[in-house]
Structure 1
Amino acid sequence: MAATSPVKDFLVTYLMPEKCYREFFVSFHLHVPCLKFVLNRVVGFWILLDTFLAQLPQLLKILWRGSVEGLSLTSILLQLYAFSCPVVYAVSNNFPLFAWAERLFTLAQTAAIIFLILHYRGDTLRGILLLLGYSGVMFLLGSYAATAVVSVMQASSLAALIASKALQTVTNHHNGHTGQLSSVSVFLSCAGSLGVLFVSLQETESSLASLSHILSACLSCVLLAQVLCCRSSTATATKKRE
């Protein structure tokens, strides 16, 4: 029976309340508040997916290819800073672990990417020292940082992420290809940025915050366009190296 179908159970459990299911699939009515609710739920899943998995394809691609060609170290360092700010903020404010645990996974992936960039560039010792120093700084910030410092870090995380995307975009343009930049990671990041933009435009925010989210989403789209358009150039560059 339709009332107990697996499809209905899935939709009602994860995407919409029972009322919206009846509006869409029983009454065949495009109920605007329900549509908005579903879109927000889907966007939330996309944002979570970006937060949890966006860096993993990039890490796996580096390990698989054994190369970090085309990746901007400064860009990844800015990403590490941007991803660290919410963790420091959460620890300083004693948020429960489940509220920010996925950020730790993202930090570990980003830190591993930075180490691999230095390792494949022949600077393994510097990579180890950088990770040790980073771990110490994170501990000190989470345990002893002043509230004003933590607040400034949290407020600057989006700016760091925008700068990171801009640097990688410039690097791609300068190289004429995207190197080992993962198309899957870029796609997940783009989807997550568009999701954050969709949510932020519905909330009451300052014009500067909205503009920042728009800029971040635009840069993500530019990166995705570069990856899609430069595949042939990247393949040619890889063959020349081999």
Structure 2
Amino acid sequence: MVSDEGSSYLDPLKGFLLTYLMPESCYDQFFLNFNFLDVPCLKIILSKGLGIGIILGSVMVKLPQILKLMGAKSAEGLSFNSVLLELLAITGTTTYSIAKKFPFSAWGEVLFLMLQTVTIGFLIQHYRGKTSRGVLFLVMYFVLVVLLLSPVTPISVVTCMQASNMPAIIISRLIQAASNFRNGHTGQLSAVSVFLVFAGSLARIFTSLQETGDSLMAWTYVISSSCNGVIALQVLYYWKSECTKIKNKKE
């Protein structure tokens, strides 16, 4: 057992740990019983830690893509339809998670991904000379989000949106993959963003099962990881092909 004096020193740490990383039962296991090998508690901490890491990483996960678009002033190789379908999936997950009152650590990154994906959608329209259409797209999207989060929308609609994520994710990635294949390159698609999204969706399979126990959420991330993996493989393939062409030219 820890002394009262020792306990007072741990109070600030305890508040932080109980808020963000573990339930009180796990705090007792680690800091009172010194049982650092408690498997259920280790799984909780791993899940919470991964969730927080994914959320922090998501703040910048699509920033390389945005910067690449702005730097090139071109949206070559990016499919606006793919972005729309991706937004459908992200919006479904966001509204479903809020409606189900899941912990923020289990879904928080989709909020930042939503803002970044909307920005990419606008930039695609802007660099194709359709700025007014891009502005209309922004207005309509945020009106839709407000409507979905309002009490006017029944939970059954939100659940249907989450269920529709799987086909939406598959179709959006197939559209982007087909665009890459047709062009013979990945254009202004950012490799950094692609691999960060792929890694995040893989980690979310575990955190979804651990923190929500919701099979619909978990299966969404399984499908998402598989589809993101296809795009990641294309990025690697076309990057190697480009490197080979450059090498052959030099020779």
Q: What TM-score results when the alignment is normalised by the length of structure 1?
A: 0.70
Q: Which of 59, 79, 84 is the aligned partner of 1:52?
A: 59
Aligned counterpart, 1:150: 158
Aligned counterpart, 1:171: 179
Contact 2:56–2:109 under 8 Å retained in 1: no
Paired with 2:106 and 2:45, the residues of 1 have a C-alpha distance of 22
User: Is the counterpart of residue 112 in structure 1 residue 111 in structure 2?
Assistant: no
Unaligned runs of 5+ in 2: 1-12, 246-251
User: Is the counterpart of residue 160 in structure 1 residue 207 in structure 2?
Assistant: no
Matched position secondary structure for 2:129: coil
The offset of 1:224, in angstroms, is 1.4
Q: Which of 110, 122, 136 is the aligned partner of 2:143?
A: 136
Paired with 2:69 and 2:126, the residues of 1 have a C-alpha distance of 11
The offset of 1:200, in angstroms, is 5.3
The offset of 1:113, in angstroms, is 0.8
The offset of 1:48, in angstroms, is 2.3
Paired with 1:92 and 1:124, the residues of 2 have a C-alpha distance of 34
Question: Superposition RMSD on alpha carbons, in Å?
Answer: 3.9
Matches within 5 A, 1:190-205: 190-199=198-207
Matched position secondary structure for 2:158: helix
Letter in 2 for 1:65: A
Aligned counterpart, 2:228: 220
Percent identity of paired positions between Structure 1 and Structure 2? 43
Contact 2:169–2:223 under 8 Å retained in 1: no
Q: Which of 185, 190, 197 is the aligned partner of 1:189?
A: 197
Matched position secondary structure for 1:145: coil
Aligned counterpart, 1:43: 50
Letter in 2 for 1:188: L
The offset of 1:183, in angstroms, is 1.0
Aligned counterpart, 1:229: 237
**Are the structure 2 counterparts of residues 100 and 60 from structure 1 closer, same or farther at C-alpha, using a change threshold of 3 Å?**
same
Letter in 2 for 1:54: V
Contact 1:52–1:103 under 8 Å retained in 2: no
Letter in 1 for 2:199: A
Paired with 2:30 and 2:80, the residues of 1 have a C-alpha distance of 50
> Relative to structure 2, which stretch is displaced further, 89-98 or 73-82?
89-98
**Are the structure 2 counterparts of residues 145 and 212 from structure 1 closer, same or farther at C-alpha, using a change threshold of 3 Å?**
closer
**Are the structure 2 counterparts of residues 226 and 93 from structure 1 closer, same or farther at C-alpha, using a change threshold of 3 Å?**
closer
Unaligned runs of 5+ in 1: 1-8, 25-30, 237-242
Alignment coverage as a number of residue pairs:
219
The offset of 1:180, in angstroms, is 0.6
Paired with 1:186 and 1:137, the residues of 2 have a C-alpha distance of 27
The offset of 1:223, in angstroms, is 1.4
User: Is the counterpart of residue 78 in structure 1 residue 69 in structure 2?
Assistant: no
Letter in 2 for 1:118: Q
Paired with 1:55 and 1:116, the residues of 2 have a C-alpha distance of 13
**Are the structure 2 counterparts of residues 102 and 219 from structure 1 closer, same or farther at C-alpha, using a change threshold of 3 Å?**
closer
